């Protein structure tokens, strides 16, 4: 098989790739994180690269539709559609990279009295001798009982394998970590007692290293979920994982490797070792949960979208390849349904929304958005396929919240005032900027309530037979391509915001409530934390309420994972929450289509049309 030398710049990754691999697959092979929100089908346009030198295959119809003749002439191509026909040098622009991106790890801090499932005990064991020839395991268990009144009958097999040499090399002093009836780790006296909480999102992974004794967070860090290279949304991942067991194993391995590296990085911040982590908690949506555990996911993508399991799980970390203490467990919070996962349960736990007094909406916005309505102690949830538009996907100049992304935007007469992530020159629009742009164009009368653009503003122009609004012109940014919002972008945004609003409306109507009765709206998740709520209200994505009714709580799922890590009672509470939540399959709700169509209109939601 012919192979070519492919050079990805500015990341500087290069190597030999077979000629029958598209540039996106070459990037995967060389570990270059190029976005592929549609999973390589040529429809999301997120994988744009520029061919700087060398030759490649002819543009496909998808590329001819996505790229202007000028862009094609300048070497711009979709990596998933293009094959090398010689050695090539490519440039990957920031908006096509999966990293770096601002990743939300912070969220509201909820304190709870630590009551961890694992406790550590320092032991001084009697030295073995002819007069005391007990087995080392008996010596350990009996010392635990005598010195700490802790009764244990099981020693993890990996702990047992190392027990005899370790006791001797540590001069019969050891710290035993005990979970229920089992010794799960043995370490020197001075070891940390660490826990790891992971919020495993479709796009991002947030990790927290926690002191199990006092519940304090030692370090927190967010990274991209490397599964993004298999597609942006859950359905793309499910499709990839069901192609073959090998592909499913690769997807799982990618995630575990990333979590292991996250553990190493977090431990590095406090001079600890991953072996000192004696318990982990993972929360994630149902697909992420199943993929991590290598559970079947095919049925998650097919009606009636049934999970393999809903109950909370405790499994050995080593069984999924996590490199923490040898006998440690990973606890996975319970799931509500195929599309309402443990992350939503964790969010309800952390915000305490599930026991809120007044009518409350709790919403976690992502490529899949979960919404819960709490009314008189009853919790009802739906899942909305909001898609990747608010992550910048399917939007002509959309990008993630990385450097140079416009995150705030205001239209003042003919001028556009904006703020970018890191204050660097603008290269595209991230979700919060996209939302602002839509609201500002609506308020300025550039788009009407049906989302139709009007050619009534000096910044409007026509390109490739469609209207677009120039937010930043080529002249305004030193000859770099203009940043625009197109008519097609507005259509994508209408669908995304309608999905979310339909979820809220269906919950209200099912519970016989009206928008005016809502006392608070809790907005969780990275996107939800950065949005300008008034823009979301203006376009009708969120209910028309006073702004002080909204609480933006950051990564509440991560906070819920931390609570479950340090508190057994919070784990039990999570079980209660998951059992209590009633799930509605949105598409089966009465008036679903009518509500959805109504919700696509921009402006205040009007039930009557």
Name the residues that contact ligand FES, by CB under 6 A: 36-38, 40-47, 78, 80
Nearest distance in Å: CB 397, ligand FES: 15
Contact assessment for residue 467 and residue 487, using Cβ atoms and an 8 Å cutoff: yes
Nearer to ligand FES, 44 or 411 (CB): 44
Nearer to ligand FES, 37 or 297 (CB): 37
Nearest distance in Å: CB 203, ligand FES: 15
Neighbours of 172 (CB within 10 A): 16
CA distance 306 to 298: 10
SS3 185: strand
Nearer to ligand FES, 24 or 348 (CB): 24
Nearest distance in Å: CB 240, ligand FES: 12
> Smallest Cα–Cα separation from 101: which of 33, 45, 43, 12?
33
Nearer to ligand FES, 42 or 54 (CB): 42
Nearer to ligand FES, 38 or 542 (CB): 38
Nearest distance in Å: CB 101, ligand FES: 17
Nearest distance in Å: CB 18, ligand FES: 19
Look at the block and give the residue holding tokens 């304090």: 216
Nearer to ligand FES, 80 or 518 (CB): 80
SS3 62: helix
Nearest distance in Å: CB 34, ligand FES: 8
Nearer to ligand FES, 82 or 372 (CB): 82
> Smallest Cα–Cα separation from 468: which of 535, 404, 395?
395
Phi/psi at 29 (5° precision):
-60, -35
Nearer to ligand FES, 45 or 237 (CB): 45
Instruction: Encode burial over 411-445: b for 16+ CB neighbours within 10 A, e otherwise.
Output: beeeebebebbeeeebbbbbbbbbbbbbbbbbebe
Nearer to ligand FES, 24 or 210 (CB): 24
**HSE-CB of 280 using CA atoms within 13 angstroms:** 33
CA distance 228 to 205: 11
Nearest distance in Å: CB 417, ligand FES: 32
Nearest distance in Å: CB 35, ligand FES: 7
Nearest distance in Å: CB 41, ligand FES: 6
Q: Where are the alpha helices (DSSP H) in 477-543?
A: 487-510, 526-530, 533-538
CA distance 554 to 574: 19
Token reading at 271: 């001079």
> Smallest Cα–Cα separation from 278: which of 349, 176, 207, 359?
176
CA-to-CA dists, residue 376 to 304, 307, 354, 437, 573, angstroms: 28, 28, 10, 37, 18
């Amino acid at each position: 098989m012919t192979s070519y030398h492919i050079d990805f710049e500015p990341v500087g990754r290069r190597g030999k790739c077979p000629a029958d691999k598209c540039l996106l697959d070459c990037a995967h092979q060389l570990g270059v994180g190029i976005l592929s929100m549609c999973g390589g089908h040529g429809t999301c346009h997120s994988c744009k690269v520029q061919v700087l030198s060398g030759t490649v295959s002819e543009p496909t119809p998808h590329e001819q539709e996505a790229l202007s003749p000028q862009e094609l002439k300048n070497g711009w191509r979709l990596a998933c559609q293009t094959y090398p026909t010689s050695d090539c040098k490519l440039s990957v622009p920031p908006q096509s990279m999966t990293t770096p991106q601002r990743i939300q790890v912070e969220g509201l801090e909820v304190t709870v009295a630590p009551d961890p499932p694992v406790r550590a005990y320092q032991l001084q064991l009697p030295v073995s001798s002819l007069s005391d020839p007990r087995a080392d395991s008996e010596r350990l268990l009996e010392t635990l009982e005598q010195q700490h009144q802790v009764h244990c009958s099981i020693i993890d097999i990996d702990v047992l394998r190392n027990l005899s040499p370790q006791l001797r090399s540590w001069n019969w002093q050891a710290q035993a970590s005990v979970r229920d009836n089992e010794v799960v780790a043995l370490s020197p006296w001075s070891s940390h007692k660490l826990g790891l909480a992971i919020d495993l999102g479709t796009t991002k992974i947030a990790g927290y290293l926690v002191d199990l004794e006092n519940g304090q967070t030692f370090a927190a860090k967010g990274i991209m979920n490397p599964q993004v290279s298999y597609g942006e949304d859950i359905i793309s991942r499910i499709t990839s994982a069901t192609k073959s067991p090998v592909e499913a194993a690769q997807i799982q391995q990618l995630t575990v490797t990333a979590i292991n590296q996250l553990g190493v990085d977090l431990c590095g911040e406090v001079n600890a070792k991953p072996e000192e982590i004696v318990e982990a908690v993972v929360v994630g949506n149902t697909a992420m949960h199943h993929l991590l555990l290598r559970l079947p996911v095919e049925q998650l993508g097919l009606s009636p979208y049934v999970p393999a399991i809903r109950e909370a799980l405790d499994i050995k970390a080593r069984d999924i390849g996590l490199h923490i203490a040898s006998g440690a467990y990973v606890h996975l919070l319970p799931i509500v349904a195929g599309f309402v996962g443990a992350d939503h349960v964790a969010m309800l736990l952390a915000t305490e929304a599930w026991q809120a007094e007044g009518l409350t909406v709790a919403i976690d916005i992502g490529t899949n958005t979960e919404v819960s309505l709490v009314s008189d102690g009853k919790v009802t949830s739906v899942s909305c396929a909001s898609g990747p538009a608010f992550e910048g996907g399917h939007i002509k100049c959309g990008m993630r919240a990385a450097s140079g992304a416009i995150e705030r935007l205001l239209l003042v007469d003919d001028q556009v005032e904006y703020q970018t992530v890191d204050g660097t020159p603008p290269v595209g629009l991230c979700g919060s900027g996209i939302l602002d742009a839509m609201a500002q164009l609506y308020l300025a009368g550039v788009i009407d309530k049906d989302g139709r653009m009007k050619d009534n503003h000096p910044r409007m122009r026509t390109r490739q037979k469609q209207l677009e609004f120039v937010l930043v012109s080529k002249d305004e940014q030193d000859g770099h391509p203009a940043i625009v919002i197109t008519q097609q972008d507005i259509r994508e945004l209408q669908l995304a915001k309608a999905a979310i609003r339909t979820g809220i409306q269906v919950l209200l109507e099912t519970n016989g409530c009206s928008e005016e009765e809502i006392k608070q709206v809790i907005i969780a998740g990275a996107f939800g934390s950065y949005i300008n709520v008034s823009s979301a209200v203006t376009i009708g994505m969120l209910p028309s309420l006073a702004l002080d009714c909204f609480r933006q709580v950051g990564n509440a799922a991560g906070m819920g994972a931390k609570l479950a890590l340090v508190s057994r009672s919070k784990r039990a509470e999570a079980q209660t929450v998951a059992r209590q939540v009633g799930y509605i399959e949105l598409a089966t709700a009465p008036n679903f289509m009518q509500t959805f169509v109504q919700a696509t209109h921009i402006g205040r939601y009007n039930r009557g049309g």
